[in-house]
Amino acid sequence: MAQQAPSAPNALPTPTPQQESLAAGYVALTTCSAVFTARRMGAERTLESIRENELRGVYPDIDRIVQTQSTFDDGVSFSAGWDRNMPARRAVLDLRTDGCTLEPVGSGVASRDHVHHAPGRTEVVFRPVRLHAPWPLGDRDALARPARGAETDRLDGAIRAAFDGGFGQSTNTTAVVIVQNGRIIREQYKDGFGIHVPQRTWSVAKSIAATIVGSAAHRGEADVAAPAAIANWQRDNDPRRAITLDQLLRMASGLTSDTAGNRTDAIYFGGTTVDEQAPGWPLIAPPGSTFRYANNDTLLAVLAISPTFAQHPPRVFFESINMHATVAETDWRGNYVLSSQVWSTARDLARFGMLYLNDGVWNGQRILPEGWRTYVTTPSGPQPPGEFGYGASFWLLNRSEGVPPDTFAAFGNRGQYVVIVPSRNIVIVRRGEDPAGARFDIAAFTRELLAALE
């Protein structure tokens, strides 16, 4: 009898169908969103740039599959094949949000009227958003005249180091924008990116979601102290009825999660929807007693205020603070995926930070309740281990040496950071496409920039 050849000692396991499907969904959605959000702003992303940045160094369990997949498009969607016996995974331009929507596995037809689907090749022609007004209402006269001297040399050196891996080995910085006293004092981009090129914000979207909750609270349409109105939890004997919006925003729901960070791949890349996936987790601890960072907590907070989106969808909030390049995406049933699927430019995120510098007031109009900045930056209840504290969907740099204790930030996967320093009237935006395992030291970068600006 012939002996079976031994397997190679370092042979990688054969990908499962689930991994193949998720990888194809990742490729289709990422490519679709990157291309169309840039085109909307009059910019173009090449497939080579997307593959070199957004599609390199993704989650280890699907990264090698992503590297082997190719996409094809029909002018309104991007698809990636994964199984010869199944339809390709397809992400379609959503005419309501201007972002892309991932269809469920096995679907070849969009299931909502506002998702663009047409026979044959139909090119979508965007009218680019032009922001002719002066900064920050538009992009004109955004840059302050740079000063000269040893301090600015140190500032420029820190920015160069950010792009050269000086704040983290193997990191991939794509943009840095620094705002001081309302003006952009430094701005730099990697080749292939620029002021009109949005990137996925990942978990920076959680801070955006909390801010949208705040805008609803200002209109009297949400109460963070009240139980979250989740339809699945309304039976009398369901203890989850007691979970408040505040506890969801603080990652203190007490709900279980299956992975660190509660990875929600099934929603992000699998074609599952928020309303069928997020509400189903059971309690493992009393609400408010445990900190557990979880995508589902943000998704549930947004689901709870979703009735307000009929009149005030996220687009209305973005327009209210001139974040015209920013797009919030939904699943195929129309639920906003505001834990991660927001695409935005570095300048728009600087505007977002400036809203908080101004304590929720933009261009003379109050957008957030008085004291909202204090609310989101005040730790309450359980705190995460490590070097950063946590407020209501914002990270706190209150344990970081050399950084003012009022500094807070929005953090996102692959190196997305919006750092807000009220006492110095400064916003620092760092965008990246850092590969899995690489870590950009945002506290050290912030410390160096602030020292240079003394």
Q: What is the DSSP string of 56-116?
A: SS--HHHHHHHTT--EEE-SSEEEE---TTSPPEEEEEBTTTSSEEEPPTT--S-SSTTB-
pLDDT value, residue 120 = 42
Q: Give CA angle at 333 (283, 71), nearest 5°.
A: 110
Q: What is the pLDDT of residue 261?
A: 60
Tokens standing for residue 342: 């927001």
Mean pLDDT, residues 363-390: 97
Confidence of residue 98 (pLDDT cuts 50, 70, 90): very high
Instruction: Report whether pLDDT(114) > 50.
Output: no
Q: Which of 12-26, 113-127, 298-312 is predicted with the least confidence, judged by mean pLDDT?
A: 113-127
- Give the per-residue pLDDT at 117: 44
Pairwise CA distance, residues 357 & 208, whole Å: 15
pLDDT for residue 165: 98
Give the pLDDT of residue 1. 45
Residue 177: beta bridge partners? 187, 429
C-alpha–C-alpha distance, residues 100 and 47, integer Å: 16
Q: Residue 210: what pLDDT?
A: 99
Full set of structural domains in the chain with CATH: 17-102 (no CATH), 199-452 (3.40.710.10)
What mean pLDDT is predicted for residues 361-380? 98
Please give the pLDDT value at position 195.
96
Least confident of 55-69, 103-117, 198-212, 264-278: 103-117
Angle in degrees, CA 347, 351, 356, rounded to 5: 145
pTM: 0.94
Residues contacting 285, CB < 8 A, separation 6+: 254, 292
Give the tens place of pLDDT for each residue, 346-360.
Answer: 999 999 999 999 999
Query: Of 376, 382, 374, 348, which is closest to residue 362 (Cα–Cα)?
Result: 348
Separation of alpha carbons 18 and 251, rounded Å: 28
| Position 303 pLDDT exceeds 90 | yes
Match 């906003």 to its residue by tokens. Answer: 336
Q: Is the peptide bond before 17 cis (omega within 30 degrees of 0)?
A: no
Q: Is the pLDDT of residue 427 over 70?
A: yes
Question: What pLDDT does 12 receive?
Answer: 72
Distance CA 432, CA 239 (A): 40
The Cα–Cα gap between 298 and 338 comes to: 7
How many percent of the chain have pLDDT more than 90?
Answer: 84
131 and 405 in contact (C-beta within 8 Å)? no
Q: Residue 378: pLDDT above 90?
A: yes
**Inter-axis angle of helices 150-163 and 442-452, to 10 degrees?**
160
State how far the Cα of 127 lies from the Cα of 42, in Å rounded to an integer.
8
Position 293 pLDDT exceeds 70: yes
As a whole number of angstroms, the distance between CA 316 and CA 182 comes to: 23
Does 108 score more than 60 pLDDT?
no
The C-alpha atoms of residue 380 and residue 388 are separated, in whole angstroms, by 14
When pLDDT is cut at 50, 70 and 90, the band that residue 125 belongs to is low
Residue-level pLDDT at 115? 54
* pLDDT value at residue 130: 61
Q: How confident is the model at residue 132 (pLDDT cuts 50, 70, 90)?
A: confident
| Between 138 and 3, residue with greater pLDDT | 138
pLDDT of residue 280: 94
Q: Residue 183: pLDDT above 90?
A: yes
Question: Comparing 112 with 439, which gets the higher pLDDT?
Answer: 439
- Residues of the chain above pLDDT 70, percent: 91
111 pLDDT higher than 60: no
Per DSSP, what are the bridge partners of residue 79?
72, 90
